[in-house]
Amino acid sequence: MGDRLPAFAVSSARLRRDLEHVAGYGATVSGGVSRTSFSAADREVRAWLAATCEQAGLVMRTDGVGNVFVRLDAPGAPAGAPPVWAGSHLDSVPEGGRFDGALGSLAALEVVRRLAEERVPLRRPVEAVVFADEEGNYHHLFGSTALARGFTSDELGELRGRDGDLLVDALRGMGFDGAAATRTAVRPGDVHAYAELHIEQGSVLESAGAAIGVVTAIVGMGGGHLEFRGRQDHAGTTPMPMRRDALRGAGELLVRLPDVARSVSDDAVVTCGILHVEPGGANVVPGVVGMSLDFRDPERSRLLDLEEAVVAAARDAAHRHDLEVAYTRESITDPVPLDPRVQELVATVAACHGMETRRLPSGAGHDAQNMARLAPAGMIFVPSVGGRSHSPAELTTWEDVEAGANVLLGVVHALATE
List the x/- string, 229-248, binding to a second copy by CB under 8 A: ---xxxxxxxxxxx--x-xx
Minimum CB distance to a second copy, residue 20 (Å): 24
Question: Distance between CA 136 and CA 390 in Å, rounded?
Answer: 13
Closer residue to a second copy, CB minimum distance, 79 or 282: 282
**Residue 201: closest CA among 21, 376, 361:** 361
Q: Is 371 in the site for a second copy (CB under 8 A)?
A: no
The DSSP result for 78-130, as a single string, is PTTPPPEEEEEE----TTB-SSTTHHHHHHHHHHHHHHHHTT---SS-EEEEE
12 is an interface residue for a second copy by CB under 8 A = no
Q: How far apart are CA 416 and CA 231, in angstroms?
A: 65
280 binds a second copy (CB under 8 A): yes
How far is Cα 139 from Cα 143, in angstroms, rounded to an integer? 9
* 292 is a contact residue toward a second copy (CB under 8 A): yes
Select the residue interacting with a second copy from 27, 56, 254, 332 (CB under 8 A): 254
Footprint (CB under 8 A) of a second copy, residues 197-216: 200-204, 207
Residue 148's nearest CA partner among 201, 95, 84, 194 is 194
Question: For the window 326-365, what string marks contact with a second copy as x by the rule CB under 8 A?
Answer: ------------------------------------xxxx
311 binds a second copy (CB under 8 A): no
- Indicate the DSSP class of residue 181: G
Residue list 373-392, contact with a second copy (CB under 8 A) = 387-391
Provide the minimum distance between the beta carbon of 34 and a second copy in the complex, in angstroms, as a whole number. 15
Mask: binding to a second copy, 51-80, rule CB under 8 A, as x and -? Answer: ------------------------------
Among the listed residues 42, 196, 252, 299, the single contact to a second copy using CB under 8 A = 252
In whole angstroms, the minimum distance from the beta carbon of 284 to a second copy comes to 5
Enter the DSSP assignment of 156.
H
Taking the alpha carbons at both ends of the chain, their separation in whole angstroms is: 10
Interaction of residue 263 with a second copy, rule CB under 8 A: no
Q: Which residue lies nearer to a second copy by CB, 18 or 245? A: 245
Does the footprint of a second copy cover residue 33 (CB under 8 A)? no
Residue 335 CB contacts under 8 Å (≥ 6 apart), including other chains: 217, 218, 219, 220, 297, 298, 299, 300, 303, 361
Answer whether the bond into residue 335 is a cis peptide, omega within 30°: no
Q: What is the Cα–Cα distance from 3 to 14, expressed in whole angstroms?
A: 27
> Rule CB under 8 A: which residues touch a second copy?
200-204, 207, 219, 221, 223, 232-242, 245, 247-248, 250-255, 257-258, 261-262, 266-275, 277, 280-286, 292, 294, 296, 362-365, 387-391
